[in-house]
Structure 1
Amino acid sequence: MTTKRRNSRQLLATAVLVALAAPGMAFAQTAKEAELEARVAQLEAQIQTLLQAQQQQQDSISQTQARLDEVQVAQPAATPLQSKPILANPDAVFSYGGFIKFDAMVTDTSDGAIAEGSAGRLFYVPSTIPVAANGAEVDSDPYTDFHAAFSRFWFAADHTTEGGDKFRAFIEADMYGGGTSNLGSEVNTNTHGLTLRHAYVSWNNWLAGQTWSNFQDVAALPEAVDFVGVTEGTTFVRQAQIRYTSGPFSIALENPQTTVGNVATGARNNAGGSDSLPDVSARYVMKGDWGHFSAAGLLRQLKSGDESETGAAVSLSGKFNIGANDDIRWMASYGSGIGRYLGFGLGTDTVVDANGNLHAQDGGGGFVAWRHAFNDKLRSNLMYAVAEFDNDRDLFGWGSVIDGNGIVQSLGVTERSQSFHANLIYSPFPKLDIGAEIGWAERDLEDDRKGDLKRIQTTVKYSF
């Protein structure tokens, strides 16, 4: 009985406790709901404000656009700053390239130094090798020259029409031009002028402008540290021309220029100016995996004043591959009136005798070079070149002159020139060449005097 009463009291106490707590719980739940409802109402008000602001901004934009439309209708459209494209041919494909070339050389010449400012101080030019007068003893120390004059840049534009016609414009220059003042010389800034090398346009098989003579085989030239290396043995002319090429055959009309020797002094006159007919050149080239072979011919009208002569020459050249790492490059040229085209004009085209008659001079030259690649980074070239001219000794005063005392005085007319070159070229990275070359050369005059040149040359060249 007592136990039942105790249980009844516990149940009653629990019921009273629940009854007292229920209103508090209900009140707490009601407060949270009210807080949430207040937050929702606040967010709704903010969204409404944003929507109203957006609508006002849109209305403002629409009004502004309407005003601009009215102005455009009222006023005519302004004339564009440029009515045509900047490029004359916007469909052209443009390309560019070139290289930076630094040369450093030490030269020793037997009969005195090559004159300062001469081309022979920058690269090997056989005609600049000094030859002393008979009996003279010239003693000069080796001399050093640094320059970057043969750095160059080229630019090309290629275009193919819908009909398949192919056009190309090409221009190239280097820094071989001389300085314009003493400040631009080696004394201060070593300034060099821009020199035009190539400037031509081609259309399918036709070419017009300045480029390598059609009589010259550039592909046969060996890789030299010097600008050319085999100078006396190669044809070397860049000039204006009109050329037509069909497969392996090409023919060109080229700028004429006759060089004339003076029988009294042995000097050469390059002035020209009376040439009336262009030089005509033709070339045929065969190519294959074995290399290439080229045969070229040259026909010239040689003219000085009212006098004229005919000149003709031939040139054979090529490159023969010997395995994967070796090749032989060569050239042989001979003709009458070939002087300007061979060895940077080492010989003269013509000479005028005492009666004023013009005579074409015979000459020839050639080179052979062996290239060997030790690996994909290191290679070597061995070169020999020679040129010889058959100067007509029967012409009065040619080769010697008798002074008032009856003494024979010799004249400086080049009869023969030859040179050897050997180099190593290392390419530690693509497009970067570091090379060293040793060279020996000799120039012989008609009176048997001679002078020689020894040179060590290095170069750093980066192509882009």
Structure 2
Amino acid sequence: MKSLCTALLSILFILPARSQSEAKPNSELPPGWWLIPRTDTRFKFGGYVKLDFIHDFNPIASPDFFDVSKIPTDGSKGQSSHLHAKETRFNLDVRTDTKVGELRAFVETDFYGTNGGLRLRHAFLEINGKWLAGQWWSNFMDESMIPNTLDFEKPGAYLFARNPMIRYKHSISKDAYVAFAVEEPHANAQAPAQSGKFENPLPDFTGRYRLTKPWGHVQLSAFAAKLVYRFDTGDMDKVSLFGGSASGIFNIAQKDRLFYQVAYGPGVARFRGGMSAALDGAGELQALTDLGYTLGYERHWTSSLYSVFVYNHGEIDNTEGQAPNAAAIGSYAAADLIWNFTEKAFVGIEYLWGMREDLDGSDGTANRLQLSLRYSFP
């Protein structure tokens, strides 16, 4: 069967037409990689298909993922069941060895676009592992410790952003590096009463330091940004935004790991989909100071059965000019059991709990049960 597939791919010009003396044979490539004909460029398709069954025991205005900011605080009640496959994703990884080092292009999409349409997740060009240009995880967050939950949404106060950027990464030792980036800014803030528009005069500036050891890793991150509201009369109101984060993973036993993150600063919510500024008592812009922390544990019961436990909490230092129903506190908790019934597929069940409290003290909670089935390829 393998020989037949190889022959068919050769007919379709997937395999190179050059001799082995001119290009590396496909047999020398890692599994899943192919050579483009008459080049030294290799590529790989990847992704997975995932189906989620979701039952909500309480109302929440985000049926496809568990967003605690969408929990109603008006005392409303109700239950709902929902199935979807929007998390299904595809990616293409292309690499070429050149005189300046390895060139890499990566594109990934899923189906969380409008009406279930394709949405761009990642698209970047990387040069020799140092320069990156395109859309990727924000340099301010720690992508290595994204909680491996069945729920697509990550904890509300967890730093989680994909931004267009230009990033430079520099190794300072065999196990440590620093990275600096300019990233696409996002003007999510409460507008003053006087008509005008928000402006981002500068990109976001982000930096990180990462130390990786056999026991795990530690990352320290920081960002700085500026937000401007230009009134129609020509005057401006502006605020400075900045913040820091500490995160990491401790490897425990053979596969278990403890992960954590703490983020704090005026405007940190910019990197988790929240508001970065609001109005003070005088109606002027003021950066919203935000605190968020995450603690989780991934426990491997057997070689094919594991669980993830995660708790996340966030608090916003609200301003006097915000509406009474402005979000003030949010908490998120998840616990699951996942069985890898084959090397490429798993089935899992997860319980999710969330709480939202508003500035006026009103609050609401949500409880969800989620069942998931996923098959990864290649």
TM-score (structure 1 length as normaliser) = 0.68
Aligned to 1:219: 144
Deviation of 1:96 after TM superposition, in Å, equals: 1.4
| Residue number in structure 2 paired with 1:130 | 72
1:256 aligns with 2:185: yes
2:310 is equivalent to residue 383 of structure 1 = yes
Change (3 A) 1:429 1:234: same
1:80 aligns with: none
Question: Distance between the aligned counterparts of 2:153 and 2:218, measured in 1?
Answer: 20
Equivalent of residue 210 in structure 1, options 135, 152, 159: 135
Instruction: Give the aligned partner of residue 170 of structure 1.
Output: 106
Contact 1:371 1:379 in 2 (8 A): yes
How far apart are 1:357 and its partner, in Å? 2.6
**Residue in 2 that maps onto 1:90:** 39
Contact 2:201 2:227 in 1 (8 A): no
Q: Which residue of structure 2 lines up, in the alignment, with residue 79 of structure 1?
A: none
User: Which of 359, 365, 368 in structure 2 is aligned with 1:452?
Assistant: 365
Determine the C-alpha separation between the residues in 2 that align with 1:257 and 1:443.
Answer: 23
Structure 1: which amino acid aligns with 2:146? L
- CA–CA distance in 1 between the matches of 2:365 and 2:76? 12
Unaligned runs of 5+ in 2: 1-35, 172-176, 231-235
Counterpart of 2:337 (choices 421, 424, 430) is 424
Letter aligned with residue 308 of structure 2: N
Alignment counterpart, residue 277 of structure 2, candidates 345, 350, 358: 350
Distance (Å, rounded) in 1 between the aligned partners of 2:271 and 2:365: 23
1:324 to 226, 249, 254: 254
Report how far residue 356 of structure 1 moved: 5.2
Residue 147 of structure 1 corresponds to 84
Looking at structure 2, the residues matched to 461 and 303 of structure 1 have their Cα atoms a distance apart, in angstroms, of 44
List per-residue Cα deviations over 1:337-394 (Å, max 9, x = no partner). 112213x32xx1111347553211101101111111111100011111101000123x
Whether the aligned pair in 2 keeps the contact of 1:325 and 1:374 (CA below 8 Å) is no
Whichever structure has more strand as a proportion of its residues is 2
In structure 2, the CA distance between the partners of 1:89 and 1:296, relative to structure 1 (3 Å rule), is farther
Identity of aligned residues (%): 30
State the shift of 1:227 in Å: 0.9
Residue by residue, what CA displacement relative to the aligned partner does 1:204-257 show, whole Å, maximum 9, x if unpaired?
A: 21111111100010111221011144x213101111000000111100000112
Q: Give the superposition deviation at 1:431.
A: 1.4
Distance 1:251 1:159 in 2: 24
In 1, Cα distance between equivalents of 2:257 and 2:89:
27
Secondary structure in 2 matching 1:282: strand
Residue type of the alignment partner of 2:370: Q
Partner of 1:339: 269
Map Cα deviations across residues 56-77 of structure 1 (whole Å, 9 max, x no partner).
xxxxxxxxxxxxxxxxxxxxxx
After TM superposition, give the deviation of residue 263 of structure 1 in Å.
7.1
Secondary structure in 2 matching 1:176: coil
Partner Cα distance (2:237, 2:197) in 1: 12
Aligned pair in 2 of structure 1 residues 313, 242: CA closer, same or farther (>3 Å)?
Answer: same
| Length-normalised TM-score, structure 2 | 0.83
In the alignment, the residues of structure 2 paired with residue 89 and residue 232 of structure 1 have an alpha-carbon distance, to the nearest angstrom, of 48
> 1:172-191: per-residue Cα shift (whole Å, max 9, x none)?
00011122xxxxxxxxxxxx
What SS class does the counterpart of residue 374 from structure 2 fall into? strand
Structure 1 pair 250–88 and aligned structure 2 pair: CA distance change class (3 A): farther
Aligned ranges 1:66-85 → 2 under 5 Å: none
Give the Cα separation in 2 of the matches to 1:377 and 1:107. Answer: 28
Distance 1:354 1:383, change over 3 A: closer
Q: How much does 1:311 deviate?
A: 0.8
Residue 367, structure 1, aligned to residue 294, structure 2: yes
Within 2, Cα distance between the matches of 1:149 and 1:223? Answer: 17
Letter in 2 for 1:450: D
Structure 1 274/428 Cα, relative in aligned 2: closer, same or farther at 3 Å? Answer: same
Specify whether residues 425 and 92 from structure 1 end up closer, same or farther in structure 2 by C-alpha distance, changes over 3 A only: same
Q: What's the RMSD between the two structures over aligned residues?
A: 1.9
In the alignment, is the contact (CA less than 8 A) between 2:67 and 2:153 conserved in 1? no
Give the number of aligned pairs: 329
Larger helix share, 1 or 2: 1
With over 3 angstroms needed to count, the CA separation of the structure-2 counterparts of 1:272 and 1:251, relative to structure 1, is farther
Contact 1:380 1:422 in 2 (8 A): yes
Letter in 1 for 2:126: S
Distance 1:415 1:354, change over 3 A: closer
Quick check: 2:280–2:319 contact (8 Å CA) kept in 1? no
Alpha-carbon contact 2:164-2:183 (below 8 Å) kept: yes
Matched, 1:114 2:60: yes
Q: CA deviation at 1:90?
A: 3.0
- Cα contact 1:302–1:337 (8 A) shared by 2: no
**Equivalent AA in structure 2 for residue 114 of structure 1:** I
- Quick check: 1:263–1:353 contact (8 Å CA) kept in 2? no
- Cα distance in 2 between the residues matched to 1:272 and 1:92: 46
Paired position in structure 1 for 2:13: none
For each residue in 1:128-185, what CA deviation from the matched residue of structure 2 results, as whole angstroms up to 9, or x when unmatched?
Answer: 11111xxxx5332x10010000100000110111x25221111000011122xxxxxx
The answer to whether the 8 A contact 1:171-1:199 is kept is yes
- 1:166–1:273 CA distance, 2 compared to 1 (3 A): farther
Q: Please show how residues 159-198 of structure 1 align to structure 2 within 5 Å.
A: 159-161=96-98, 163-179=99-115, 192-198=116-122
In 1, Cα distance between equivalents of 2:82 and 2:264: 34
Say if 1:329 and 1:370, in contact at 8 Å, map to a contact too. yes
Tell me the secondary structure at the aligned position of residue 232 of structure 1: coil
Contact 2:356 2:365 in 1 (8 A): yes
**Aligned mates of 1:320, 1:138 — CA distance in 2:** 41
Which gives a bigger RCO, structure 1 or 2 (Cα 8 Å, sep 6+)? 2
Residue identity opposite 1:351 in structure 2:
A
Counterpart of 1:157 (choices 94, 115, 122) is 94
